Amino acid sequence: MLLRRCLSCRVRPRIDYRTLKTLSNSPGPELTHSCDAQGIPTRPTWSVNELLSSYPTPKLSSTTFRHLHDLAALIPPEEGTLEHKKTKHELEEMIRLVEAVKLVDTTSATPSTWGPRLGIEDRKVSAKNEEAEESGDSLLNHASRTADGFYVVESDRRH
In a domain, 158, yes or no: no
In a domain, 7, yes or no: yes
pLDDT truncated to tens, each residue of the chain (159 aa)? 444 444 444 444 444 444 444 444 555 555 567 888 888 888 888 888 888 888 888 999 999 999 999 999 999 999 999 999 999 999 999 999 898 888 888 888 887 765 565 555 665 666 666 666 666 778 888 888 888 888 888 877 665
In a domain, 29, yes or no: yes
**Could you list the residue range(s) of the whole structural domain that residue 92 is in?**
48-102
Please give the C-alpha separations between residue 97 and each of 1, 3, 40, 49, 55, in angstroms, as whole numbers.
39, 39, 27, 10, 9
Domain count of the fold of the chain: 2
Q: Same structural domain for residues 58 and 84? A: yes
In a domain, 69, yes or no: yes
Q: How many CB atoms lie within 10 A of CB 127?
A: 10
Quick one: pLDDT at residue 5? 45
Picking from 26, 44, 62, the residue at the C-terminal end of a domain is 44
Express each pLDDT in 30-64 by its tens digit: 556 788 888 888 888 888 888 888 888 899 999 99
CA 53 – CA 96 distance, rounded (Å): 9
